[in-house]
Structure 1
Amino acid sequence: MSFRRFLVKRVAISIALTIVAVSIIFLTLRLLPGDPFSSLIASGGLSQEQVDALRAQYGLDEPIYVQYIKYVQSLLTLNFGFSIAQSRPVSDIVFPRLLNTMVLLVPALVVTAIVSSILGSYAGWNRGSSFEQLSIVVTTFFRSTPVFVTGIFFLIIFSYQLDLLPAFGMRSATANPEGLRETYLSTDFAYHYFLPFFATVLYYSGDFLLLARNSVVERKGSAFLTLHRAKGLSEMEQLARAGRNSMLPLMTYFALRLGMMFQGVITLEVVFSWPGIGRALVLAINQKDYPTVQAAVFIMAFAVIIMNLLADVMYAKLDPTIEGGDV
């Protein structure tokens, strides 16, 4: 199969998955009992006539298929509508919080990939050593422990017992930063950033370390390293070449993990009260804020689909043998 056919096939699959995800998001919210305005009637806050007017304003009185068509049309133009709970454009809610999430996740993933890959390559090269055994035990422990448990443990120790770092939020309550520089490059931000960043790094370190270790173990006895050994290359030079040849699975896994990290970000942001898209989603679900929930879940699902597509394309481009196989 040519690369062009491979790419067309993967893009078509991604489009189909996006349509399925969009449909599931829409139908799941509509199948839930009640709607965002049901509680207003029960509490006596609004009359039935006023609630009916609100439902008409947000299009909730229209047939399901009409709501679905309008929903898809709005997604195509990235017009997520107005938040029911906050009465302002959903874009003003989700995009700033998406940036906060990416500021937390992307640097953590980059640091994790680099450090864990180096340590994993060294562990694989020194198979059977105490370093290999200790690194596997430590990283496996943190990977098998839910990230919110690690986060709570860090809060208890560093925030409440030692009182070294703040327990919640992205900045102090009195802080009023202006611009990206003051928001993300201040000392106050760094203090709030450390705990969620470190919890994320520890949680995902096991994946990259074990992947790098296994790749180096497989390549340690390969013919190309035997040739380099015969040429008189030192142990460190051989390790560097083995690590470089292990980059293909690491690069593709990095793309996959960047998309899938949204799975764990919700609990992480709730534990640390981080004002990201995951925490915004939880609040919107509790308020039955349909437009905000739809936008947040769509962004998360779309990120997973796009990063999976990118991983497939990277693997096919870096490993030409895939194009001739059954992909």
Structure 2
Amino acid sequence: MSTTSTTGTTAVARASEARAARGNVRAYLLYVAGKIGGAAVSLFAVLVTSFFLFRIIPGDPVKAMTHGMPTSAEQMATLRRQFGLDKPMWQQFTDYCAGALSGDLGMSYQFRAPVGDLILQKVPATLLLTGVAVVIYSAIGLWLGTRSAWRHGSLGDKLNTGVALTLWSVPGFWLGLLLIITFSVGIGPVPGMFPTGGMESGNESGFAYVADVAHHMVLPVLTLVAVGYAQTLLVMRSSLLDEMGSDYLTTARAKGLRDDVVRRRHAVPNALLPTVTMVFINLGHVAAGSILVETVFSWPGLGGLFYQALSVPDLPLVQGLFVVFAGAMIVMNLLADLLYPLLDPRVGR
């Protein structure tokens, strides 16, 4: 009788676990579907915004294409017809959406080349610069933020927080100009050690080329790291401080676990959710680059290309870059949302 009862209880427990597992999978799938639907709506909103927003920029694209040269009314009309600027606004919008959804971002007014090709040409330089910077400042920010929170109130915490707040409030382009003046031009006893801009000198090959590119990267990477690590540090510090008074940490200490084990295995994993969002947003910036920093250092990436397009204005190029920048951010936020339930099972239930 006892054996039969135990077997029945085990079967009921297994059935209950199976139902719970199916319920968790169903809840996660609904969570994923909701997040993907929200990302799709956001992408459509980006398409609408990118089309109408940049059409309020002063300037005539057709006049900009002629570079101030004498042009007849017939020639101007031909150019407008060639680029579809003579069509009604609603038709321009539908053509733009149809092209964007099929991967065709249009033809650049300024460069007379497909926008997609121009973006692909500049992507490697931006990925190199901002990718290196994001990896460095995310690692530094997470490490220093954890240390500052765990020893909050100490001299090191006050120093780290003060420096981070100062750098977070500094405009990146202004800091970049200061670095150029100090370390490129030279000031007082400090000689000019680094190039003022660009990605390469243009006369190197092999390992010398790699060293030359790294030499050109020092100041722009330092600028991005100085501004970026501060935000990551402050977010990680605030998130970990919220966990410091939790009962589970007291229980872990009561079990005799060492302080660094409590921090590493218990506190930090539970404080990572806001920081994960920050890291993924930073990864989205890898595609977007940093427009002002790239412009200050004449870095041949997407940020510099965006600045060139705005100055015309080159509407197809500006729109295409805006969609790429915003799309990268939306995709990275979506990946962060999908990762949340793996870090905290309570999310998405």
Q: Give the TM-score normalised by the residue count of structure 1.
A: 0.88
Q: Once the 2 structures are TM-superposed, how far is the Cα of residue 121 of structure 1 from its aligned partner?
A: 1.1
Q: State whether residues 252 and 314 of structure 1, in contact with CA within 8 Å, keep that contact through their aligned partners in structure 2.
A: no
CA distance in 2, matches of 1:41, 1:97: 25
1:212 matched to 2:240 = no
Corresponding pairs, count: 319
**Worse-matched range after superposition: 162-171 or 104-113:** 104-113
- The correspondence of residues 72-91 of structure 1 with structure 2, limited to 5 A, is 72-91=97-116
CA distance in 2, matches of 1:158, 1:34: 38
**Worse-matched range after superposition: 18-27 or 225-234:** 225-234
Which residue of 2 is the match for residue 66 of structure 1? 91
Percentage of pairs with the same residue: 32
CA distance in 2, matches of 1:290, 1:175: 35
Which residue of 1 is the match for residue 13 of structure 2? none
1:56 matched to 2:81 = yes
- The correspondence of residues 5-84 of structure 1 with structure 2, limited to 5 A, is 5-39=30-64, 43-84=68-109
Which residue of 2 is the match for residue 166 of structure 1? 195
Which residue of 1 is the match for residue 203 of structure 2? 175
| Equivalent residue letter for 1:156 | I
Q: Once the 2 structures are TM-superposed, how far is the Cα of residue 260 of structure 1 from its aligned partner?
A: 5.3
Q: Which has the higher contact order (CA 8 A, sep 6+)?
A: 1
Q: Secondary structure at the match of 2:29?
A: helix
Q: State whether residues 41 and 47 of structure 1, in contact with CA within 8 Å, keep that contact through their aligned partners in structure 2.
A: no
Specify whether residues 73 and 200 from structure 1 end up closer, same or farther in structure 2 by C-alpha distance, changes over 3 A only: same
CA distance in 2, matches of 1:201, 1:23: 33
| Equivalent residue letter for 2:246 | S
Q: Secondary structure at the match of 1:259?
A: helix
Q: Give the TM-score normalised by the residue count of structure 2.
A: 0.83
Q: Once the 2 structures are TM-superposed, how far is the Cα of residue 138 of structure 1 from its aligned partner?
A: 0.6
Specify whether residues 45 and 317 from structure 1 end up closer, same or farther in structure 2 by C-alpha distance, changes over 3 A only: farther
Which residue of 1 is the match for residue 220 of structure 2? 196
Q: Secondary structure at the match of 1:2?
A: helix
Specify whether residues 48 and 95 from structure 1 end up closer, same or farther in structure 2 by C-alpha distance, changes over 3 A only: same
1:286 matched to 2:286 = no
| Equivalent residue letter for 1:21 | V
- The correspondence of residues 147-158 of structure 1 with structure 2, limited to 5 A, is 147-158=172-183
CA distance in 2, matches of 1:66, 1:294: 16
**Worse-matched range after superposition: 268-277 or 102-111:** 102-111
Q: Which has the larger radius of gyration?
A: 2
The unaligned stretches of length 5 or more in structure 2 are 1-25
Which residue of 1 is the match for residue 133 of structure 2? 108
CA distance in 1, matches of 2:104, 2:67: 31
